[in-house]
Amino acid sequence: MHTISPPINSRADSSVLLHSPNLTRQVMSSREIAELVEARHNDVISTIERLFSKGLLRSARKTRREATGGRPIDVYDLIERDTHLVVSGYSDEHRARVIDRWQELEDQTSRHFAIPASLPEALRLAADQAEENARLVGVIQLQAPKVAAIQRLAAAHGAVCLTDAAKLLQIRPRQFIEWLINRNWLYQRGKRKRLAADQERIDQGLMTHKFTELKANELTGEVKAVAQPLVTPKGLARLAEMLQEAL
């Protein structure tokens, strides 16, 4: 199983090493990226998920919970290539900070990684890596039928309301709505804080709106329409994958 080792420097949200027993890989957290480019973490998360939706990132899509001194937040761990894509729209100074930070991490990694000193150690490393690859293939084979079943389920239901989507995904509606807001799928508008789908998610075909007319005002005769956010089949399948990766 891939695990995350303790931070190797003093930053509260430092980059970490993803490793199997003998395989090490350096990553940088979305929270640290936000600090380096002086941006809101939610904005960095939005950029990451937009790039994931376009299939441009190669990092694991699974998030992890990280303590902040207050309410825990979900963060992504990105490989070096992906961090450069995420910060490509920021200033030269901010991109330079990220590059300098990666240089520090590479220096630390070179000191951390132990090269096999003998043929038996090298053979053991190769065997461990082969076992890890076999385990990952098994995980993919196990998850594939679940993902396919969810996609068929989504196609059969069409666009559904948030409550029904939560039931299909087996998550409590209130928790589901909060989860969508934190990931910029939903937002609250107006004094009544009515829920609305994020325009980017609508453009991606993940969400839509159903408009319902309210009863006409008895004094003015004015009729108002209320927009109800719905999750499309494509969105339901994508959310199922995201929830599965977060477990």
Domain boundaries, the chain: 3-112, 155-246
| Average confidence (pLDDT) over 107-115 | 64
* Lowest-pLDDT choice from 113-117, 175-179, 209-213: 113-117
* Residue 186: count of CB within 10 angstroms of its CB: 21
pTM to 2 decimal places: 0.42
The structure tokens listed for 45 are: 């998360």
pLDDT for 139 = 62
Rg (CA), the chain: 22
- pLDDT range class, residue 38, cuts 50, 70, 90: very high
Residue type, position 213, single letter: E
Strand order across the 3-4 sheet: 3-4, 16-20, 23-29, 77-78
